[in-house]
Structures are given as structure tokens and as C-alpha cells.
């Protein structure tokens, strides 16, 4: 088997080694291409470009497989919890009991946010989009934890501070939107329970932990924890490659996730379902529109730009969605429409042939709505889940001393020309 690729250009031959992954992917190492040939590659959107070598997450879009540190997502979602997954992503191995307990203690030691942060969130209007608020608050944490900006700071300590305080910011963003007083954490609870309490506790009544809701949130956060080199993760690595601190790097990830083509997909699902409901709830009409190539309507939450078969996360979260709707006894026309669309997508030959299966965004949107989380908050929930993945990627980049990111371009603008004074134009 050849372990190199030969490029013939301008009468000369150049050899570039093949880099193999531990599972099956291959890449061509073209690090010396520009120096040797004067050429660069053009790959719009970096769809075929590997910017790093990573040990964290692997996905196979053709087979519909996803692994965290080598563990199949199906096993992780069934047997693990979000705190253990955070440790796994950050440290590369599952923790033993003492490691797990110490990790929890380390996070709980930072389970608060400076009171001055309340002044910052108070300055935002209630109408502000939660992701804009979250991005600003995350960046502002730098001023209150400057030690994590120091490149000499241990990455693990920075990670634990970030994990603890980000959950507060997500909860506070929700409560700002709902005009509720801001809560601090409770160290008697685990990570997901603590977030759940901070987010939903009302000031005038006792708060009870609902295990059904906590279990659903736990699974959702696990399924979103990392997903290889996607837009927001690549953004975190790019920003962090300049030795930018953890808070500013995570803030950049939040901003990237905000985009409707990335983290905003589950919000788009509910908005689509609400539109169908407002139009009379005729699912067959919109299925026909989706099949019509001349119609601009597109079903949101079906298919995936990476997975060519069923999204493995969707299989898992579908069970949680079914369970929470049944156990909470929720009756919602919009969610009824979602179930009708799901049935069509799983049984209709058109959807099966084109592999337009419901994806994780479809089911996560359904669960968030069932839990009473406002649509604009969906991407904040996504960010909370994705945080350990972002941090793990940031940490890996720092420890491997990856070079600063500096993409090239193919320039197609004007050729060299002389400046013309305004009066002569």
C-alpha cells in the first residue's frame, strides 16, 4: 500500500506522506506544499482539510458512528453521566471513583459567580438574544478570573473554573429572559441538578428535583458534548491558537454556535413546527412542499451534513423524547405535528431513499419545548453541552503547542494599480 502521494507539477515531482488515523481515515500531509511548490490548496469551507491531529472525538458519517475517546456514544449515553463525560473528554480516560469525586469537588469549589457580574447582565434589555448575552458574559469572566488568562496556568484548573461558572451564566441568561432573580449554585447537587435548580427555581416556593427532567437534560448534554472539528470547535481552536485565554476562546465558540446553520438548528425546528401549526397543521401539505424541488420550503431537523445515514445521537435522544412526552403528560399541537413528521420521515420512501432521517436537533428541540424552555434558549442549552468538548479541544491544542492558525487564500481581486486623487476620479 502506498504511504505517499506524488504531485507532478511544472516538470517536477513532489512526494507528500499519507497520515493514517487509528480507525480508518487518511490524510495527505501537505505542510511543505507551499514551500516546495509555491502552491496552496483551495478548499472552501475546509470540507476536505484537516487542520489538526486530535485524540478526542471520531465520527464516521457514512456508518453513522460517533466515539468519545474511543467509546461509542450509545454506551456513553446509556451508562455514563455528564460529569463523567466531561472528565473523559478532558483527561482521555474514564475516572475511577476517587478521580471522579475529586473532579466534582474541584468544580464545586468554583460554583459561584462574582456579584459584580449581575451588574453586567442587568445592563442588557430583556429583549436581548440569550446567545448574545451569554457570549458577552463569558468574555467578561476574564476580568473576574484573570489567572486563567496566564499561559502558564494549568489547563486543568482553567477548565474546572470554566465548567463551574459557565453553568451559572447559562442559568442566569434564562432567568434574565424570564425576569426572574438570579440564583447561585448548590454544592449538595451534582452538575446537572445544580444547573436545573439554578435555572428553574422560583423565589416563592420550594424546588423539587424532577428525576425525569434531570435524566433527559443529562442525556442531551452528553450527546452534544463534542462533535469533532465543527464550526464552533474550529473557532475555539483558531482563537486559542493565539494563546488567547479560556474565557475569550469559549466566548468565540458561543458566537460561532449562535449561527442558524450551526447551533441554531434546533430553534429552527420549533419555529418550523409553529409555522405549520399556525397554517392549520396540515402536515401532508408541507411534506409535499418538501418533496417539490421547485419549492423553497425545507424541513428543518432532517438529514445531516456529516451523517449520511441515521444520526446515532438521534436514535438515543428519540427514546428520551418519547419518554418525557409520555411521562409528563404534555399535550401540545406543535409537538403533535413533530410526531407526525417523524412518522412520515421514517416510513415514506422519498425520505428513506434520500436518507432524510430526523436528527439530534429535531429531537432536542422537542424535549426543550416539552420542558418549557423558550425557543431562544435552545442554543444556550446546546452551548452548555458542547462546553467540555470546546475546552478539551482548547486544552489539546495548548498541550500539543499547535501553531497559530493562519489560513491562506487565492486572491482574485484587482491587479496592482495607482491611487487616483478624488478630483480626478
Residue 338 corresponds to which cell in the numbers above? 413533530
Q: What is the pLDDT of residue 150?
A: 52
Nearest CA among 324, 291, 296 for reference residue 214 = 324
Q: Which of 322, 341, 370 is the last residue of a domain?
A: 370
Residue 105, helix vs strand vs coil: helix
The residue from 168, 361, 418, 424 that is catalytic is: 361
Nearest CA among 260, 262, 259 for reference residue 230 = 262
Residue 243, phi then psi, degrees to nearest 5: 65, 30
Is residue 227 part of the annotated active site? The answer reads no
CB atoms within 10 A of CB 97: 7
Contact 260, 268 (CB under 8 A): yes
Residue 126's domain comprises 73-261
Same domain, 252 and 274: no
The residue from 304, 331, 336, 348 that is catalytic is: 304
Q: How far is 379 from 363, CA to CA, in rounded Å?
A: 14
Same domain, 31 and 129: no
Query: Which alpha helices (DSSP H) does 225-332 contain, by range?
Result: 231-240, 246-257, 265-278, 283-291, 312-328
Q: What is the pLDDT of residue 147?
A: 58
Question: Which is it for the CA torsion 180, 273, 356, 297, positive or negative?
Answer: negative
Which residue matches cell numbers 425545507? 298
Q: What is the pLDDT of residue 145?
A: 76
In-domain check, residue 101: yes
pLDDT by residue, tens only, the chain of 425 residues: 568 999 999 999 999 999 988 887 889 999 999 999 999 999 999 989 998 999 999 988 788 889 999 999 999 999 999 999 999 999 999 999 999 999 999 999 999 999 999 999 999 999 999 999 999 999 999 888 765 555 455 778 889 999 999 999 999 999 999 999 998 899 999 999 999 999 999 988 889 998 888 998 999 999 999 999 999 999 999 999 999 999 999 999 999 999 888 888 778 888 898 899 999 999 999 999 989 989 999 888 887 777 767 778 888 888 778 777 777 777 778 878 888 888 888 888 888 888 888 888 888 888 888 888 888 899 999 999 999 999 999 999 999 999 999 999 999 999 999 999 999 99
Burial-class residue 414 by CB neighbours within 10 Å (0-12, 13-18, 19+): exposed
Is residue 361 part of the annotated active site? The answer reads yes
Q: What is the pLDDT of residue 153?
A: 54
Same domain, 211 and 338: no
Q: What is the pLDDT of residue 148?
A: 54
Q: What is the pLDDT of residue 69?
A: 97
Number of domains in the chain: 3
Same domain, 89 and 190: yes
Nearest CA among 46, 95, 86, 88 for reference residue 70 = 88
Looking at residue 306, the DSSP 8-state letter turns out to be: S
Give me the CATH number covering residue 28.
2.20.28
Contact 82, 221 (CB under 8 A): yes
Contact 380, 131 (CB under 8 A): yes
Give me the CATH number covering residue 276.
1.10.230.10
Amino acid at each position: 500500500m502506498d504511504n505517499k502521494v506524488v504531485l507532478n507539477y511544472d516538470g517536477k515531482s513532489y512526494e507528500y506522506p499519507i497520515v493514517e488515523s487509528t480507525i480508518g481515515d487518511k490524510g495527505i500531509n501537505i505542510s511543505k506544499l507551499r514551500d516546495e511548490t509555491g502552491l496552496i490548496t483551495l478548499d472552501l469551507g475546509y470540507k476536505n482539510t484537516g487542520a489538526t491531529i486530535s485524540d478526542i472525538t471520531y465520527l464516521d458519517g457514512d456508518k453513522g458512528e460517533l466515539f468519545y475517546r474511543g467509546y461509542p456514544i450509545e454506551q456513553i449515553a446509556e451508562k455514563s453521566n455528564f460529569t463523567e463525560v466531561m472528565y473523559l473528554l478532558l483527561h482521555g480516560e474514564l475516572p475511577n471513583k476517587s478521580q471522579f469525586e475529586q473532579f466534582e469537588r474541584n468544580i464545586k469549589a468554583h460554583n459561584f459567580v462574582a456579584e459584580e457580574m449581575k451588574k453586567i447582565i442587568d445592563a442588557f434589555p430583556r429583549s436581548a438574544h440569550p446567545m448574545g448575552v451569554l457570549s458577552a458574559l463569558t468574555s467578561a469572566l476574564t476580568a473576574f478570573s484573570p489567572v486563567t488568562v496566564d499561559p502558564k496556568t494549568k489547563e486543568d484548573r482553567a477548565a474546572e473554573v470554566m465548567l463551574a461558572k459557565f453553568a451559572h451564566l447559562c442559568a442566569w441568561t434564562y432567568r434574565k429572559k424570564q425576569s426572574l432573580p438570579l440564583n447561585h449554585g448548590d454544592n449538595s447537587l451534582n452538575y446537572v441538578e445544580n444547573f436545573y435548580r439554578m435555572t428553574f427555581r422560583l423565589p416563592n416556593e420550594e424546588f423539587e428535583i424532577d428525576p425525569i427532567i434531570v435524566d433527559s437534560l443529562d442525556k442531551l448534554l452528553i450527546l452534544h458534548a463534542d462533535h469533532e472539528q465543527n464550526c464552533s470547535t474550529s473557532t475555539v481552536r483558531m482563537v486559542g491558537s493565539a494563546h488567547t485565554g479560556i474565557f475569550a476562546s469559549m466566548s468565540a465558540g458561543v458566537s460561532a454556535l449562535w449561527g442558524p446553520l450551526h447551533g441554531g438548528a434546533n430553534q429552527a425546528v420549533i419555529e418550523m413546527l409553529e409555522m405549520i401549526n399556525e397554517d392549520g397543521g396540515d402536515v401532508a401539505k408541507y411534506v409535499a412542499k418538501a418533496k417539490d424541488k421547485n419549492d423553497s420550503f425545507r424541513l428543518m431537523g432532517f438529514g445531516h451534513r456529516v451523517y449520511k445515514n441515521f444520526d446515532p445521537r438521534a436514535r438515543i435522544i428519540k427514546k428520551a423524547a418519547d419518554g418525557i412526552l409520555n411521562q409528563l403528560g404534555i399535550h401540545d399541537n406543535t409537538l403533535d405535528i413533530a410526531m407526525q413528521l417523524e412518522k412520515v420521515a421514517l416510513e415514506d420512501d422519498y425520505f428513506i431513499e434520500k436518507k432524510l432521517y430526523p436528527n439530534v436537533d429535531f429531537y432536542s428541540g422537542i424535549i426543550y419545548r416539552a420542558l418549557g424552555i423558550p425557543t431562544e434558549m435552545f442554543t444556550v442549552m446546546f452551548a452548555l453541552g458542547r462546553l467540555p468538548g470546546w475546552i478539551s479541544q482548547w486544552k489539546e491544542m495548548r498541550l500539543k503547542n499547535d501553531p497559530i492558525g493562519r489560513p491562506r487564500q487565492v486572491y482574485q481581486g484587482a491587479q496592482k494599480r495607482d491611487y487616483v486623487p478624488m478630483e480626478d476620479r
